[in-house]
Each structure stands twice: as C-alpha cells, then as structure tokens.
Amino acid sequence: MKVPVISRVASSLTSRRSARWWTVALLAVVVLLFGALSGVDAPKRADSSLVAGSDSAKVAELLAQNSDSTTTSAILVANGSTGEALSSSKIDQVTKLAPQMASDLAVKTGPALPSEDAKAVMVPVSWDTVDLDADKQTLTEIRDWLGAHELSRVQLQMTGSTAFAADVSQAFAGADFTLLAVTVGIVAVLLIATYRSPILWLIPLAVVALADRSASMVANVLGNAWDLHFDSGVLSVLVFGAGTNYALLLISRYRDELQKNEDHRKALAKAWAASFEAILTSNLTVVLTLLTLSLAVMEDTRGLGIVCAAGLLIAALFVFLLLPPVLALCGRKVFWPLVPKPGQPNTRGKYFGKAATAVMRKPGANLAALVVLLLVLAGALTGTRLGLDQTQQFRTPTESASAMTVLSEHYPAGEAQPITVLVDGSDTTVLQERLKGLDGVLRVGEARELGDSSWQQFSVISSDDPSGSEAMDLVAQIRSTADEASTATVLVGGQSASQYDSHQGHLRDLYVIAPMIMIICFAMLGWLTRSWRTALSLGLVNLLSAAAAVGLGSLISSMVFDVSALDVQVPLLAFVFLVALGVDYTIFFTQRVRQNSATSSLTDAVANAARSTGSVITSAGLVLAGVFAALSALPLMVLGQLGLIVGLGVLLDTFVVRTLLLPALFAVLGSNNKPVFGKGSGVQYAVESETSPSTESSINA
C-alpha cells in the first residue's frame, strides 16, 4: 500500500538519519534570516489617527495646503496643586514664567489666560515644526524646563495633540521588551507546570521564541514594504500563545504514542501525522480570519491583521518542521522524571472524561442550561457603551490627560480643540445661524477665506469635552444640519470630528469583517466534519461563546479599569481573537471525536476524546489566557481591555464550552441516529517505519 505524503514527511522529520539534517538545515536558515533581516528597522507607529478619505482628513489636508504656517502648538496649564484658587501673585508668577521660557527655549508663548474662577491659567505655546519626532523632542525640552522652574504650590503641565502623542511614545518606551519578558515568563511557568519536567519545557519555548523573532523580522519587512502600522507586542503575544498551543498538542500526542510504542521515533512520527490536520486546520482558520482585517479602513487594524497572519504561519512552520526533529534527537528521556513507557496506564484527563459522561446522560437539558448561561453573559453587551474619551486612553495617569481634565473643568471645554467647518464657495451666514441653535454649541466664530482657495472657514466651539461622546454627537448634528441648510460642499474637521470618523471607521470594520470571519470558521469546520449541520452547530456555539466573553469582559473591565465603556477598537479585535483562537479547541476536540467514532460509539468517542484532550486543551487554554493577560503590562486602555476580554474568553471556552457544552452538543446531534460526521471525514494516516515499508493502517488517538 502506498504510504501517504504526510506519513513520509513524518518519518523523514523523525528518522535517525534525517532528523539531524532537518535540525541543522532549519537552524542554518534561521541564522541566515537573522543575518539578512536584523538591520531592518521596525516601522514607526502611525503619526495620525485620521481616517483616509474622511471629512476630518480632507479638512486637515486643505488646511495644510492653504496655510504658510510651519508651527505646531501645545498648551501650558497651571493650577493649584491641591485644587485651590490661584492668588494674584501666583497668576503673576505664571504670567512672567511664560516669556522666560520663550527666551530660554526656541518657542513662542501667547498671553496668559486665567480662568473665571481663578483656579487655572492657560498659556498657548508654539514653535517651528520639522516633523513629529522633532515636536516630541521640543515638548520634552519644555517639560524638562518647567521641571527646573517649579512654582510653589502650582502644578505646571503641558497638553494638546502633540503632548498626547508624546505621552503615547513615552508610555511605549521599553514596553515591548517588558511585554515579551512577561509573556516568556508566563509561558515558561505554565509549561513547567504542565510537563513537570526540568528539561522538556525548554524545547517548545526555544522553538516558539525563534518563531517569534523570525515573525518580528518578517513583520518589519512587510511593514516597511507596504507601509503598515501595527503593535509588535500583540504580534508576540499571538505567536507565543498560538505557537505554544500547537506544541502542546503535538507533545501531548507524542506522550500518548510513547505509551504504545517502544521506538520513540515511530511514536513521534505517528503523533506528528495524527495531529497534523488539527494543527493545520486551526492555523489556517486563524490566518484566514486575520487576513480579513486587511479589508479594514482603519490603518492600525489593517496592518495588525496582515503581520499577525504572517506571524502565525511562521509559528506553525516552526512547530511542524523544527520541533519534531529536535524531540527525535532528544529521545524519550526528555520527559524525565515522568518518562512515559509502553503499557503504562494513562491516568491523565479522568476528570474531563467523567464530566463529559455526566453531561451526556441528559444532553438536552444540560445543553439548554449552558446555552442560557452564555446568553445571559452575552446579554451584558446590551448595556455596553463603545468609545473612550481622549483622557481615558491611558490606564496610568499622564500629564497630557491630567492637564486636559483641568482645562475642561475651568474653561469652556471646546475652546482648546474647536470644531473646524469648511464651506466651498458659498455664503456661510445661513449655516452659521442654524449651527448657533444646536444644543451643545457655545459659540460660532466668524467666517474667513482659507488662503487663496474658494473655501470659507469658521470654528464651532462646543460646550462639552471635545474628546467626549457629546462632542462627537455634535459633529454628527453639524454634518446633518449642513446637508439641510447648504447646497455647497461642507466639510467638518478638528479633533472631535477626527475622533468621530475614527469611531465610525471601527464600527464599519466590525460590521463588515465579523460576518466574514464567521463564514471562514463555518467553512473550516465544514471541511473538518464533512457535515454542514455539525459545522453550523459548532460555529454558532463558538459565536455565542465569543459574545459571552465580550459581555463578561465588559462588566469586569468596568470594575478593574474603572471605565464605563469599551474602547471602540476592542470589539472587532476581541471578536477576531476569540472566534479564531476559540475555534482551535473546538477543532482539536472535534478531530479526536471524529477519529474515535470510527471504532466506537459516539458516546464513547466523545468521552474518550474529552479524556485524551482534556489536559492538553486546558494547558493550552491557560497558556493562551496567560499571554493575553500579559497585555496588561502595556499602558494603553485598549490593550488592557483586549487582554482581559480575550483571556476570560479563552478560559470560558476551555472550562465551559469544551469541557461541558461540546459533549452535550455531540450527544444531541447524534441522538436522532443521523451521522454527526460526513463521508470522507474519517481520515486515516499511515506511518512508514525506518527499517520497513510497512504501514500502520490507522492511528488511534
């Protein structure tokens, strides 16, 4: 009988002669890759949050084209250090401090503007700009100067868009290294706890670490070639999490085969062939779902999807091609002190087998109860608000956010960041009068020509915080009113409009991409099960589990981070990771049920699958939840919320969905005597031995 390609590859990777050559060749490729790409710099983070093609982006472009100004600005905010009103002498000190700073630094300062309640003083500061990096350096020099010229009982802070950008850069200084260190530490601890071996945990960790470094270098190349912007910390979390999951599945299967075979190489080859389909299906599902993010209008989402898809492909290649030959060279003793031997009883996973058997006694009732639980958790989404204020973007206090809060408390909120309205070649009087009557409008400025263009420009001052949801609602009202009151082209821009356009862009990406992700998951599950009835049921469970995780995460996020809303980026990213990564465990479990059902009843197949995969899936879930929890090491609220929600979702999927709900679901699907798996789903693998062309007709999980 002809030996399948998968079996021949498995034998080649693990045989006495070729395992060494595979290891040497792959490590040589890695060394060459590191040498060729180590000089490629990581692409810079996006300098602007403007959405390409949006009104706010068009306004910014027109202002830049029709202005000779080459300056940028920030705001110096002075207030009492304990919230008290500033005395006239303190205000005089702040007033005199501004020109002194202008003479010492290459900046210009405007007049000091005390608030009506005398609790704050605002001083405009501007300087000639070269680029954003130079602006950040100038702002750092201003802050250092203010630190050296402190005033007694007066707090001096800088804010404005440049200050926020500088604080983001400062927050991420060294953060990627911290995140990587935390991630590696979490993975190492969980691998040691899983394998209970002082040696074995080092092998998958080293292989995944090489994959992560390779993925980072490839991501840098892609980022520079295609002008992509992404968070390298999230890339590392995904590569470590998914790569470690694949390694856990392969090594668990290897351990099982060692209890059946004297030859560790033959056992490893059988394990590789038996786990190949599950790992490949899981990897391709995640990669394809991540590639759907390339259709996003938001630049950061698009870049993250592309590089993470490439990173997970690299992680799978390392686990498929490098991990097996290294394990083959190490031999059976790598599991010391708990070395598996032929004939040794397998005591792992008894709890999971008993749990599956218990829920299958009354599958309908148990399935209904578990679905109701997930629906209740998902119901929390109905009260979840999307969108954080600019001052809520950081989990730790920042100077720019603190100063902006002071401004909003003691000055008309919109004065610091007015809404800009451009009208093309038309009288603006009617429109201005209509805008004055809108709720939330404090003042409408006078119209003036924009440079030598045909555009008229005026400002709208909001009475609300320009970074809050009320200001974004006002932007929508202004645009709606402009459509009704003017036949000319009207563009609305400024910070509030930019934030509104970003909010709408993220929502558009969620509504367009989320259904595509579900279609991909249904298709992959259909290919695995060869039964669209089973695939649809599994896909709906996966969708419900993801919704429950986001609902639960939003509730806990409000308590942990003390914010009442989710960042607008979180739902889509959380949905991608929860559905794509959560379906991994469904695939691992379903493949084992399918293989077992070829030789036993469905009930026994499910119970044995739960018993044999319980420990490894639980370990994989803990690893994945742990590495996403490492995102809390980063200072941005969006990453903290994302890590919390995905971590909770993975645990929910591991301990509730896979342990209890899926066994009940399979029992219900098989209760009407209809086949759970379609024809052609019972794939059998043959593994060629080193010394004989004989084949194994099947592999029992």
Ramachandran angles phi, psi of 677, nearest 5°:
-115, 145
Which ranges constitute the DSSP H helices of 561-670? 570-596, 602-629, 637-652, 662-669
- Mean pLDDT throughout 401-425? 84
Two tokens, residue 13: 């990777």
Within-domain flag for 694: no
Query: Is there a single domain that holds both residue 186 and residue 141?
Result: no
Q: How far apart are CA 411 and CA 552, in angstroms?
A: 38
Q: How far apart are CA 537 and CA 427, in angstroms?
A: 60
Query: Is there a single domain that holds both residue 368 and residue 403?
Result: no
490-493 and 419-424 beta bridge pairing = antiparallel
pLDDT digits (tens, 9 = 90+) for 108-151: 999 999 998 889 999 999 998 877 788 888 999 999 999 999 99
113-114 and 154-159 beta bridge pairing = unpaired
53: region left, alpha or beta (phi > 0 left; psi from -120 to 50 alpha)? left
Q: How confident is the model at residue 694 (pLDDT cuts 50, 70, 90)?
A: very low
Q: How far apart are CA 682 and CA 597, in angstroms?
A: 8
* Beta-bridge mates of residue 419: 460
Q: How confident is the model at residue 686 (pLDDT cuts 50, 70, 90)?
A: very low
Distances (CA, A) of 79 to 102, 114, 154, 161, 166: 20, 10, 6, 20, 22
Query: Is there a single domain that holds both residue 265 and residue 356?
Result: yes
Residue 299: pLDDT above 80?
A: yes
- Residue 393 in contact with residue 564, Cβ under 8 Å? no
- Residue 586 in contact with residue 546, Cβ under 8 Å? no
Domain boundary residue among 140, 171, 202?
A: 171
Query: Is there a single domain that holds both residue 542 and residue 617?
Result: yes
Q: How far apart are CA 171 and CA 176, in angstroms?
A: 10
- Mean pLDDT throughout 79-97? 90
Q: How far apart are CA 639 and CA 633, in angstroms?
A: 9
Amino acid at residue number 47: D
**Percent of the chain having pLDDT more than 70?**
94
CATH of the domain at 161: 3.30.70
Q: How far apart are CA 36 and CA 19, in angstroms?
A: 26
Residue 701: pLDDT above 70?
A: no
pTM of the model: 0.83
pLDDT digits (tens, 9 = 90+) for 627-671: 888 887 777 788 888 988 999 999 998 899 989 999 999 999 988
Cα within 13 Å of Cα(621), Cβ side: 25
Residue 291: pLDDT above 80?
A: yes
How is 131-156 classified by DSSP, letter by letter? -HHHHHHHHHHHHHHHHHT-BTTEEE
- Residue 241 in contact with residue 234, Cβ under 8 Å? no
User: For residue 260, which of 367, 331, 343, 381 has the smallest C-alpha distance?
Assistant: 343
Q: How far apart are CA 505 and CA 503, in angstroms?
A: 5
Query: Is there a single domain that holds both residue 616 and residue 514?
Result: yes
Amino acid at residue number 71: T
Residue 306: pLDDT above 90?
A: yes
Residue 687: pLDDT above 60?
A: no
3-class DSSP state of 684: coil
Query: Is there a single domain that holds both residue 568 and residue 424?
Result: no
DSSP assignment, residue 4? P
Domain boundary residue among 479, 501, 523?
A: 501
Least confident residue range of 168-172, 504-508, 536-540: 168-172
- Which residues fall within 8 angstroms of residue 318, CB to CB, at 6 or more apart? 207, 208, 210, 211, 214, 243
User: For residue 359, which of 345, 347, 370, 349 has the smallest C-alpha distance?
Assistant: 370
Within-domain flag for 689: no
Within-domain flag for 112: yes
pLDDT of residue 637: 85
3-class DSSP state of 363: helix
Two tokens, residue 244: 């470690």
3-class DSSP state of 376: helix
User: For residue 551, which of 576, 577, 569, 570 has the smallest C-alpha distance?
Assistant: 570
Which ranges constitute the DSSP H helices of 105-131? none
pLDDT of residue 183: 82
Q: How far apart are CA 79 and CA 94, in angstroms?
A: 10
How is 646-672 classified by DSSP, letter by letter? HHHHHHHIIIIIIIIIHHHHHHHHTTT
Query: Is there a single domain that holds both residue 523 and residue 642?
Result: yes
Amino acid at residue number 683: V
3-class DSSP state of 87: coil
* Average pLDDT taken over every residue of the chain: 86
CATH of the domain at 459: 3.30.70.120
Domain boundary residue among 484, 501, 518?
A: 501
Least confident residue range of 26-30, 227-231, 389-393: 389-393
Residue 381: pLDDT above 50?
A: yes
pLDDT of residue 639: 85
pLDDT of residue 4: 80
Cis peptide before 337 (omega within 30 of 0): yes
Two tokens, residue 342: 């032929």
Residue 392: pLDDT above 80?
A: no
- Residue 299 in contact with residue 52, Cβ under 8 Å? yes
Query: Is there a single domain that holds both residue 114 and residue 180?
Result: no
pLDDT of residue 197: 87
- Mean pLDDT throughout 434-448? 90
Query: Is there a single domain that holds both residue 268 and residue 337?
Result: yes
Longest CA–CA separation in the chain, Å: 97
- Mean pLDDT throughout 466-488? 88
Within-domain flag for 30: yes
CATH of the domain at 532: 1.20.1640.10
Within-domain flag for 530: yes
Q: How far apart are CA 453 and CA 423, in angstroms?
A: 11
- Which residues fall within 8 angstroms of residue 328, CB to CB, at 6 or more apart? 13, 14, 15, 19, 264, 265, 268
* Beta-bridge mates of residue 462: 441
pLDDT of residue 397: 75
- Residue 47 in contact with residue 98, Cβ under 8 Å? no
pLDDT of residue 691: 35
CA angle 387, 392, 394 (to 5 degrees): 120
Query: Is there a single domain that holds both residue 509 and residue 495?
Result: no
pLDDT of residue 383: 78
Q: In terms of C-beta distances under 8 Å and separation of at least 24 residues, what long-range contacts does 410-413 make, across chains too?
A: 410/79, 410/115, 410/116, 410/117, 410/119, 410/120, 411/115, 411/120, 411/122, 412/442, 412/443, 412/461, 412/463, 413/462, 413/463, 413/464, 413/465, 413/466, 413/471
Counted residue by residue, the chain has a size of 701
Residue 20: pLDDT above 90?
A: yes
Within-domain flag for 148: yes
Q: How far out from the chain centre does Cα 524 lie?
A: 22
The C-alpha R_g of the chain, in whole angstroms, comes to 30
Q: How far apart are CA 491 and CA 455, in angstroms?
A: 10
Range ranked top by mean pLDDT from 389-393, 443-447, 674-678, 684-688: 443-447
Query: Is there a single domain that holds both residue 148 and residue 100?
Result: yes
Q: How confident is the model at residue 692 (pLDDT cuts 50, 70, 90)?
A: very low
Within-domain flag for 308: yes
- Which residues fall within 8 angstroms of residue 191, CB to CB, at 6 or more apart? 200, 201, 204, 205, 244, 623
User: In this predicted model, which residue has the larger pLDDT, 579 or 509?
Assistant: 509
Q: Which domain does 125 fall in, by range?
A: 74-171
pLDDT digits (tens, 9 = 90+) for 42-59: 787 665 678 888 999 999
Residue 684: pLDDT above 60?
A: no
- Count structural domains, the chain: 3
Within-domain flag for 630: yes
Burial class, 489, CB count within 10 angstroms (exposed 0-12 / middle 13-18 / buried 19+)? middle
Query: Is there a single domain that holds both residue 550 and residue 651?
Result: yes
Residue 1: pLDDT above 50?
A: no
154-159 and 71-80 beta bridge pairing = antiparallel
User: For residue 282, which of 325, 322, 315 has the smallest C-alpha distance?
Assistant: 315
Residue 2: pLDDT above 70?
A: no
